[in-house]
């Protein structure tokens, strides 16, 4: 049986799973603003696409309906990705894993 002093610290093993937040200097603050602007623009345009599809019944044939389902999944994937940029989500291991799993699920559902 091994002694407990030979064991490594278990918390160090699990912190490698987490996605570390990129720290930019003050010169790169525009990069952070552009990424948020891109997320918001994509969410707004996908929201408009979803509203237009739900409003007009002429678009409810098979191929447009597949695009509608992919658009909804992509909307939620972008939403989860945007929310996961928060510091509180990145610092907590369980929240980080939960939002990563939600992103993977919505991207997979959107593709299939």
**pLDDT one-digit tens code per residue, 60-100:** 887 888 889 999 999 999 999 999 888 888 888 899 999 99
**Domain assignment of residue 1, yes or no:** no
**Domain assignment of residue 75, yes or no:** yes
**Domain assignment of residue 9, yes or no:** no
**Domain assignment of residue 5, yes or no:** no
- The answer, yes or no, to whether residue 29 has pLDDT greater than 80, is no
Size of the chain, expressed as the number of residues it contains:
112
Residue numbers of the domain that contains 96: 30-111
39-46: average pLDDT: 94
**Domain assignment of residue 65, yes or no:** yes
**Domain assignment of residue 61, yes or no:** yes
**Domain assignment of residue 38, yes or no:** yes
Distance of CA 79 to CAs 33, 40, 44, 76, 103, Å?
Answer: 16, 9, 11, 5, 9
Query: pTM of the entire structure?
Result: 0.70
**Domain assignment of residue 88, yes or no:** yes
Domain count, the chain: 1
């Amino acid at each position: 049986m091994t002694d407990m002093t030979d064991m490594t610290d278990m918390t160090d093993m699990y912190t490698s799973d987490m996605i570390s937040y990129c720290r930019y200097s003050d010169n790169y603050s525009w990069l952070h603003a552009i990424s948020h602007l891109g997320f918001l623009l994509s969410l707004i345009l996908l929201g408009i696409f979803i509203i237009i599809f739900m409003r007009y019944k002429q678009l409810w044939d098979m191929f447009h309906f597949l695009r509608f389902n992919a658009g909804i999944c992509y909307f939620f994937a972008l939403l989860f990705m945007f929310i996961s940029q928060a510091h509180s989500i990145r610092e907590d291991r369980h929240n980080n894993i939960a939002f990563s799993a939600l992103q993977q699920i919505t991207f997979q559902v959107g593709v299939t």
